[in-house]
Amino acid sequence: MSTASRACCTLLTLACLAVSAPAADFQPPDPPQTTAPLGAGIQRAMTLLATSTPTHHNRVRILYYGQSITAQQWTGQVTAWLKAQYPNADIEAENRAIGGFTAPSLIRTAEHDLYSFYPDLLIFHVYGGDTSGELEKIVQRVRQRTTADILMRTPHFRWDTSVPRDGSPDDPKHKGAIDADEAQAVFIRAMAPKYGLELADTRLEWQRYLTKYDLRAKDMLADGIHLNPLGNQLMAALVIPHLRYQADQPTDTWRNRVRDLPATRAADGSLELRFVGNRVDAVTAPEKTDVRPGSATLLIDGKSPAEFQELLTTTRPSISYKMWWPALNVAGHSAPRVPEKWTLKITRVDAEAKNFWFSVTGSVTGPDGEGERGKRFVSNSGRLIVEPGDWWMEATQRYANNAVVPEGFEVTWEVKPNYLTTYQGTVSTDPTRDTTTTLFQGLAPGEHTLRLTPNGPLNIAAFRVYNPPLAAPLAQPLAP
C-alpha cells in the first residue's frame, strides 16, 4: 500500500480535496448487486433517521473516517442527501479522515478521533492493514467501544499516471495497485459478515459502471487515485443506496445496544441503576415550570467517576508545521493521567534538519522531561509516551517546500474527562427533542451500578444505556 500512501501525501491532494462543481454529464449507476437487503447492516442508525418526525427529532451522529479519498467531496454529497431525505432528524456529521494515513497509522490516531466521538453511524475505508491486521483491529475496537453501525466500502479503481487515458487497463504498470486493491476487497467482503458490517462493494459496482459506459478508471480520477467531479458523484451514488430504512428487517442484532431504562429511587432517596454498558446519559423529564431542578453526586460502583482512568479521553494533537496531519499520532501513557492540557515544544533542530529535540509540559503535571525525535520518550511522570514512529512533523520537509520545523514550534493536546462528578439537572425546553446529559462514556465493560445522590429534585425521566456489541476488557494503557 506504499503507492497509495505516497499518492495520498502529495501536494496535489490539497487540490483534490477542494470542493468542485458537480459533473453535468454524470449518468447514475445501476442498483447495487447484492444478496443482502440494502441497509441491513446499519438499521439502528437508519431507524433513528427514518422515525424522526416534526414532533420527535432524533439526533444522529455520523463520522466519516479513513484517508484522503474519504476526505473528498462525495462525503458532503452523502450528508446533503441524508439531510434532504430525513429533514426531521438532527444530523451531526463530521469528517475526521487524514490524508496519507494507511491503517497502521490510522489505528493510532483512532484512539483520539474515533471512539470518543461515539458515532451512531461510521462510514469507513482505509488502505492497508488487511494483511498486517490493523484494518480488522480498527473494526473490532469500534465494536468493543461504541454502539455504532458501520458502513464499509471496498476500494475504487486507480490508474497509473504514466499510462495515457487510452492506454490498456491491463498495462503492467497498474498491476501492483490492482493486485493490492483486489486483495483488500476480498478481505473486506469476508470481514463484513463477521462483524455485521454494511458492505458497499464500490469496487464491484465501479467496474460495472466503467464497463457499461465504456470508461477507463482515469476518467473518474484527478490523478492516479483521487476522485475528480465524476468520481465523487459516482462514489456518493454507490454509497447512498445502502442508506436505506428497512422496516421489515429483524432488530435482534441492534435493539439492545442502546436502551432507555427507568430511573429507580432507592430507600434513601437516591437514584440507582444497575446496567451493562460503557456509557450512560440522563434523559430529562418533560418540563415542570414550578420545580427548579437540583443536582446530584455521581458514584459508579461506589467510587467517583474521577477514579476511572478509562473515562479520560485525549484530543487529537495539533497539526504539523505547514501541513494538515497531526504532528503526533498518539499521545500515549503508562501512569495514571489527570485532566490537563499538554504542550510539546521543539527546543533544538540539528544542522541538517534531520533530527530535533523537545520538552513537554502538562498544565497540572508541570515540566515533565525532554526527549529526542528518534528515540522512545517516556516523561518523568509516565503520563506521556511518544513512540518514534508516531512523529509526522518531519514530513513537512518532504511535502512543504523543504520547510524546516522551527525551534519554538509547539504541539498541543488535552486530556479531558468523559464524565461528570456532579449532575446538574436541566430543563427540557423543546418537547420535540430529547434533552440528554452524558454522565460518563468509555467505562470498562461489565456489570456496573450507578448511583445519584440528589441535592434537590431531579427531573430525570430515564437513563439511556449504551452497550457495545463486542464489549471486552480494555488494555492498559489505552494507546494501541
Domains and CATH numbers, the chain: 2-242 (3.40.50.1110), 258-308+419-466 (2.60.120.260), 311-417 (no CATH)
Higher pLDDT, 225 or 25: 225
In this prediction, residue 7 has a pLDDT band, given cuts at 50, 70 and 90, of: very low
> What is the predicted pLDDT for the residue at 310?
97
**17 in Cβ contact with 172 (< 8 Å):** no
Residue 348 pLDDT exceeds 60: yes
Q: Which residue has the cell 458532503?
A: 76
Could you give the residue ranges of the DSSP H alpha helices within 296-407? 395-399
Cα–Cα distance for residue pair 477/480, rounded to 1 Å: 8
Residue 214 pLDDT exceeds 60: yes
> What is the predicted pLDDT for the residue at 393?
76
First to last CA, the chain: 21
Kindly report the backbone phi and psi dihedral angles of residue 41, in degrees, each rounded to the nearest multiple of 5, phi listed first: -85, -5
Give which of 83, 70, 82, 156 is closest to 114, Cα–Cα. Answer: 70
> All 3 cell numbers of residue 181?
486493491
**Dihedral (Cα; 127, 15, 64, 113), 10-degree rounding:** 80
Instruction: Tell me the pLDDT tens digit for each residue of 95-150.
Output: 999 998 999 999 999 999 999 999 999 999 999 999 999 999 999 999 999 999 99
Instruction: Tell me the pLDDT tens digit for each residue of 144-192.
Output: 999 999 999 999 999 999 999 888 888 999 999 999 999 999 999 999 9
Cα–Cα distance for residue pair 233/221, rounded to 1 Å: 11
Instruction: Tell me the pLDDT tens digit for each residue of 31-71.
Output: 998 888 999 999 999 999 999 999 999 999 999 999 999 99
Give which of 232, 226, 239 is closest to 199, Cα–Cα. Answer: 239
Cα–Cα distance for residue pair 298/282, rounded to 1 Å: 12
Q: Count CB-CB contacts under 10 A for residue 366.
A: 10
Q: Is 426 helix (H, G, I), strand (E, B) or coil?
A: coil
According to DSSP, residue 242 is labeled G
* Assessment of whether the complete model's pTM goes beyond 0.85: yes
Cα–Cα distance for residue pair 348/321, rounded to 1 Å: 15
323: exposed, middle or buried (C-beta count within 10 Å: 0-12, 13-18, 19+)?
A: buried
HEC secondary structure over 155-210: CCCCCCCCCCCCCCCCCHHHHHHHHHHHHHHHHHHHHHHHHCCEEECHHHHHHHHH
- DSSP secondary structure of 94-115: EE---TT--HHHHHHHHHHHTG
